[in-house]
Chain A
């Protein structure tokens, strides 16, 4: 799972370097924001001359799916200590969300150890990947399509989930909506696609009941 973030982290680092963001700021951003699409969006916005406010809002809009992840993961956090419920959600990202949902229910203490270990490992890999991109970007050969490696990893996560009709319908609707959404509302494709996919999945499930 951690391997999935490496190509994206490198891309974020290379992009930050190419638009003149200081390496320290990139690394602090990688550790604190802990979200590639949000950081990339904010970086691009700053590079294009947007103010701090517009860059932050753009990054937050791109990250709106985190609300859905929080709602979906709440059962795992329900019986946890207060400090964990307030601080540990910082580790909510695509990969930790998907890995947790795959594992299913866990005893609270077990989940705490699992979540902190997985989140910390992923964070470390992420920061190292961004640092690598920041430092090596200027000397790497131009590999504009390196993002396809990350896409391939998401493909491998998706394929085993296409096990029934509602899942296939949800994925198809999400993909099509994401395509249109990315084109019409840059930065909103994932959120629009995810929302449409959930609705389509619910409808397919209802339609399939006797």
Chain B
């Protein structure tokens, strides 16, 4: 019950965050400089999510596993840059997960 109540209140709060600058305070009232700055948001937010995702995933790992995970992400980026094939990148990511969980850190569970 606690979890359900938490999720429903959280959903209400998240919706408020989403509509605030869409319907409550329209973005057209924002200064032009702010709207120009928002053009840089996509690469910034993607890089931030990527790094936070790697850190969260390898948290508590030993050094070889961390190194392998970071190297895997770099390799995936390079391969995608060269080939543009998303499925190949996903395949590499799945293979990396298998190697880390089954070979580099076998027996270590979260």
Interchain CB contact (< 8 A) of A146 among B22, B97, B108: B97
Q: Complex: how many Å from CA A63 to CA B12?
A: 12
Interface size on A, residues (CB 8 A): 100
Q: Which residues of A contact B97 (CB under 8 A)?
A: 143, 145-146, 148-149
B22 touches A77 (CB 8 A): yes
Q: Which residues of A contact B17 (CB under 8 A)?
A: 60, 63-64, 66-67, 70
Q: Which residues of B contact A196 (CB under 8 A)?
A: 44
Interface SS of A by simple majority: helix
A38 touches B47 (CB 8 A): no
Question: Which A residues form the contact surface with B (CB < 8 A)?
Answer: 3, 16, 21-22, 24-26, 28-29, 32-35, 38-39, 42-43, 45-46, 52, 55-56, 59-60, 63-75, 77-78, 82, 85-86, 89-90, 92, 94, 98, 101, 141-159, 161-162, 166-168, 170-179, 181-183, 189-202, 205
Question: Which B residues form the contact surface with A (CB < 8 A)?
Answer: 2-11, 13-15, 17-23, 26-28, 30, 34-58, 65, 69, 72-73, 76-77, 80-81, 86, 89-90, 92-94, 96-97, 100-101, 105, 108-110
